[in-house]
Every structure is written in structure tokens, then in C-alpha cells.
């Protein structure tokens, strides 16, 4: 474990100056050139290109060595051949660079573990933090982007409160695309690759202290010996929700992990049981990871799992009950007192025909006021600890203001509310009414139920 307290992670993740080492003078599509160009043109960090040959890129001078850069460098991005990387790291340390991202591959994952160990030992002695090698590095919205992927091909999430650490760069980018589609914002995304020095435990400790991060998510392939225990012990004391998606669950998956980043996949079953024991939310697949991140970014507190359902479609209500039951959650029958309270507040055209036992089926005749009456009563029912709103935007009485109006009930009572709305452009105003007011929205009933499950599965210290 790297000593977070004595390292300058601030410069690593919030750089004002950056050197990109390994830029090509002839190939604009070289990974180093992609990184240099996107940061130079689109982000506030001041970027300096470095190549031993010198020269120019456009009007900018190319420096032969990191020591020639005229300003103190906060972050060095190294995209040179593996055999040159140890020497470059040594030069960065001598030049008092704040930290580095080593994009280059060809280390432990290719059988050159000794070189990787040498790099880590040198950096640890100097208390010089670096991410990688064999990684994409760091993405922080509006601050820095070391991914060697062209900007025009990436879909990035907005700034938010989810910190996401991934051993796989591909998984990280894919999840970021999905985050953007679901309106989940991130505080920091880091691809750690072979994690020769800075590892999950270091970044967990950092994000636990980071005021911009409210939820901490991991894609983990494997640990060193005893490192999994250290990770769990740290995560169990987190005051922020911690979510883990573990790869290498099967025997063949374990072998694939070793060939990918030279990690030990370990005993998955034991790891999974320990996560559950200590209230660390394990996402069993990418879909769960997405739902968990969105839900916990809004509601960090644990619930029992008793859900009140409001719908205009009996079929949707039945599907939701089945999904809740499959996850060990409950849709308990509402007391006669709560049912009477709801019926008295419903409009005369809806009150006689609505089914109020739970699910509450308001029928296709319902309008906004009926939804609000049902949700308001559920928010005051002590036997219900989460409200699931199943909204069909094409129902005649539903307006685009309903999301915002229902969100005000959550803001007043602080009882978690989760909405299902088909995610189509036509329904954007309805969806934004929820999301802009801190209520998560899923585009599927199963996803909405998983959001509820996240609130029960995660227990904070």
C-alpha cells in the first residue's frame, strides 16, 4: 500500500501543469499525441510535449527532457516504449514532478515483472505516486483527461459524486458511456492497469477523504496476497458507500485475469461473502453496478427493503413485485388506515376504481394529483421505507411536471423514492424533473428494483 498521507495525490488528480512524454513528431494519432492535443485544446491544464528529438508540434516547442520544461510539472503522462520507462520515471523524480501516469504496456502482463518491481521500488522510496503501467490513467471532468482515446469518440459523464476505479481501461470507458446515458456524474475515474504502485486500497483511502466524492465504485480483477483483507477492512470503515464489481469469478475467468494484468484473482466465493458480511455492496454484473452507483449517489443510507409501489398499470405492478421478491425485498400490504387516507385524497373519478393494497394501481384515469396523493401517503407510512414510482409517460393524465412535483415529496420527507420511466428523448423533461432534484430514474423495472436493493445491501459504518 502506498502512503497516501505523505504523497501529493492532489497534484496527480488536480494538475495545473502536465508533461506528455513520448509524443511523436510525425504521427498525430500516436497515443501520446492524442493525450497532448485533447488536454492542450479542451482543458485548462497547461501541457508540455516531450520527445528526446526536440522540435515542434504546431507552434509549441517539444522539450527533449522533462528537466527542460520551463515550469514545475504536476503530472507526467508517459507513453514511451517500456524499456525507456524506468529511466523516464527516474528523471521525473529528479525534476520533482508531482506524479505520473504510465500508459505504456509491456511489463508484468508480458512477463517483465522485474522491471515493474524496479519501477515501484524506486518510486516508493521517493514517495512519488504513479498510476499504471498498462492503463488509461485519469479522467476528471473539466480538469484532466489522460485517456488515449479521441475526444470525438468518447461520451463522458458530467461532473458528479461517483468516484470509479477500474483495473481495466476498457471496462472503465464503457461504464462511463453508460453513466452518461443514465445521467450519473463522476468526481474522478481512474484506470489503474497493472497497479504497480498505486492500488485500490490507496485510492479507496484517498476517495474516502475527497469532499467531491460521495460514492466509491471499483472494478477489481485481483489482489496481491492478503491485499483483499486489507481492502475490506478499509472499506468497512468508510462513511461513504463502497461498490465492488469483481471479475475472475470462474476458473477460466481467473486465468484471463492473470493474462490481462498479472493479478491473482483469488477465492471469489470467500471475497463475496466477506463483502456481504461487512455491508460492502457487491454488484454482480455491469447492470447492477450502474444501478447501484445511481441509487447510492442519491441515497447513502440503508433501508430494510419494504417498498410501496405506485403505478397506472397493474401489469407493471406485478412485474415489480416479482422482481422485488426475487431480490428478497418486500411490497407489504398497506394498512386499512393508509388505504383510507389515500382513497380520501384521490379524485372522485379515480377513487372508486383504484386498487390500493400495494401495488397501488391508480389506473389509466390518474392524473398528476393522484400520483402525488399516493406518494405523499406512502411517505408518511412507517412500514414503508422506499417508494417505487412506475410512470408511463404516455398515460393521458401524466404531465412533464410530475417528476419535479413528486421529487418535492422526497425533499420534504427524506424517504427514498425511485422512478421507472422509459428513457426516451421525448420524456426528457419528466426524467430531468426527478434527476435534477436528487431522485434516481431507471429505464427498466429491474433496474429500479436493483436501485432499491443497493440501498438495502450497503451498510455504512
Could you tell me which residues come within 8 angstroms of residue 238 by beta carbon, excluding any fewer than 6 positions away?
Answer: 204, 208, 216, 460, 461
Rounded CA-CA distance 159/249 in Å is 32
Helix (H, G, I), strand (E, B) or coil at 185: coil
Q: What is the pLDDT along the chain (461 residues), one digit of tens a residue?
A: 666 544 569 999 999 999 999 999 999 999 999 999 999 999 999 999 999 999 999 899 999 999 999 999 999 999 999 999 999 999 999 999 999 999 998 888 888 789 899 999 999 999 999 999 999 999 999 999 999 998 888 899 999 999 999 999 999 999 999 999 999 999 999 999 999 999 999 999 999 999 999 999 999 999 988 899 999 999 999 999 999 999 978 555 455 544 444 454 457 888 999 999 998 999 999 999 999 999 999 998 889 999 999 999 999 999 999 999 999 999 999 999 999 999 999 999 999 999 999 999 999 999 999 999 999 999 999 999 999 999 999 999 999 999 999 999 999 999 999 999 999 999 999 999 999 999 999 999 999 999 999 999 887 74
pTM for this prediction:
0.92
Could you tell me which residues come within 8 angstroms of residue 198 by beta carbon, excluding any fewer than 6 positions away?
Answer: 2, 129, 130, 131, 192
CATH class of 4-297: alpha beta
The pLDDT value recorded for residue 152 is: 86
Rounded CA-CA distance 378/386 in Å is 9
**Is residue 184 left, alpha or beta, with left meaning phi > 0 and alpha meaning psi from -120 to 50?**
beta
Assigned superfamily of 303-448:
Succinyl-CoA synthetase domains (3.40.50.261)
97 upstream amide cis, omega within 30 of 0: no
Rounded CA-CA distance 381/377 in Å is 7
The pLDDT value recorded for residue 252 is: 55
Please report, for the chain, the start and end positions of each structural domain, with discontinuous segments joined by +: 4-297, 303-448
Q: 256 phi and psi, to 5 degrees?
A: -65, -35
Rounded CA-CA distance 351/27 in Å is 70
The pLDDT value recorded for residue 264 is: 47
The answer to whether the 4-297 and 303-448 domains have the same CATH topology is yes
Q: Which three cell numbers stand for residue 350?
A: 379515480
Amino acid at each position: 500500500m502506498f502512503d497516501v498521507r505523505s504523497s501529493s495525490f492532489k497534484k496527480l488528480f488536480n494538475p495545473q501543469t502536465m508533461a506528455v512524454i513520448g509524443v511523436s513528431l510525425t504521427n498525430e494519432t500516436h497515443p501520446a499525441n492524442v493525450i497532448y492535443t485533447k488536454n492542450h485544446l479542451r482543458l485548462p491544464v497547461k501541457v508540455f510535449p516531450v520527445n528526446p528529438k526536440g522540435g515542434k508540434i504546431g507552434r509549441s516547442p517539444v522539450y527533449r527532457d522533462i528537466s527542460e520544461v520551463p515550469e514545475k510539472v504536476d503530472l507526467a503522462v508517459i507513453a514511451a516504449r517500456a524499456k525507456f520507462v524506468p529511466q523516464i520515471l527516474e528523471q521525473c523524480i529528479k525534476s520533482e514532478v508531482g506524479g505520473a501516469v504510465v500508459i505504456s504496456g509491456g511489463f508484468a502482463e508480458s512477463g517483465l515483472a522485474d522491471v515493474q518491481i524496479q519501477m515501484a521500488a524506486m518510486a516508493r522510496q521517493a514517495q512519488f505516486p504513479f498510476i499504471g503501467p498498462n492503463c488509461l490513467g485519469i479522467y476528471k471532468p473539466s480538469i484532466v483527461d489522460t485517456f488515449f482515446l479521441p475526444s470525438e469518440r468518447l461520451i463522458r459523464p458530467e461532473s458528479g459524486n461517483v468516484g470509479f476505479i477500474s483495473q481495466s481501461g476498457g471496462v472503465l470507458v464503457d461504464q462511463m458511456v453508460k453513466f452518461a446515458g443514465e445521467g450519473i456524474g463522476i468526481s474522478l475515474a481512474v484506470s489503474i492497469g497493472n497497479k504497480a504502485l498505486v492500488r485500490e486500497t490507496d485510492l479507496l483511502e484517498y476517495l474516502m477523504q475527497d469532499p467531491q466524492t460521495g460514492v466509491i465504485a471499483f472494478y477489481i480483477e485481483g489482489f496481491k496476497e492478503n491485499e483483499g483483507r486489507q481492502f475490506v477492512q478499509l472499506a468497512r470503515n468508510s462513511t461513504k458507500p463502497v461498490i465492488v464489481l469483481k471479475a475472475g469469478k470462474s476458473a477460466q475467468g481467473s486465468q484471463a485475469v492473470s493474462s490481462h494484468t498479472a493479478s491473482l484473482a483469488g477465492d471469489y466465493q470467500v471475497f463475496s461473502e466477506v463483502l456481504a458480511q461487512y455491508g460492502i455492496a457487491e454488484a454482480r454484473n455491469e447492470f447492477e453496478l450502474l444501478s447501484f452507483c445511481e441509487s447510492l449517489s442519491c441515497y447513502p443510507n440503508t433501508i430494510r427493503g419494504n417498498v410501496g409501489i405506485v403505478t397506472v398499470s397493474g401489469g407493471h405492478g406485478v412485474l415489480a413485485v416479482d422482481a422485488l421478491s426475487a431480490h428478497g425485498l418486500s411490497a407489504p400490504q398497506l394498512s386499512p388506515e393508509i388505504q383510507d387516507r389515500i382513497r380520501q385524497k384521490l379524485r372522485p373519478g379515480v377513487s372508486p376504481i383504484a386498487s390500493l393494497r400495494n401495488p397501488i394501481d391508480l389506473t389509466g384515469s390518474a392524473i398528476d394529483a393522484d400520483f402525488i396523493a399516493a406518494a405523499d401517503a406512502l411517505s408518511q407510512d412507517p412500514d414503508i421505507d422506499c417508494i417505487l414510482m412506475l410512470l408511463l409517460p404516455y398515460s393521458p393524465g401524466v404531465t412533464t411536471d410530475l417528476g419535479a412535483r413528486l421529487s418535492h415529496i422526497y425533499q420534504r420527507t427524506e424517504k427514498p423514492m425511485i422512478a421507472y420511466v422509459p428513457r426516451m428523448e421525448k420524456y426528457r423533461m419528466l426524467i430531468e424533473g426527478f434527476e435534477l432534484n436528487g431522485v434516481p430514474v431507471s429505464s427498466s423495472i429491474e433496474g429500479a428494483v436493483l436501485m432499491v436493493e443497493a440501498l438495502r445491501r450497503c451498510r455504512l459504518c
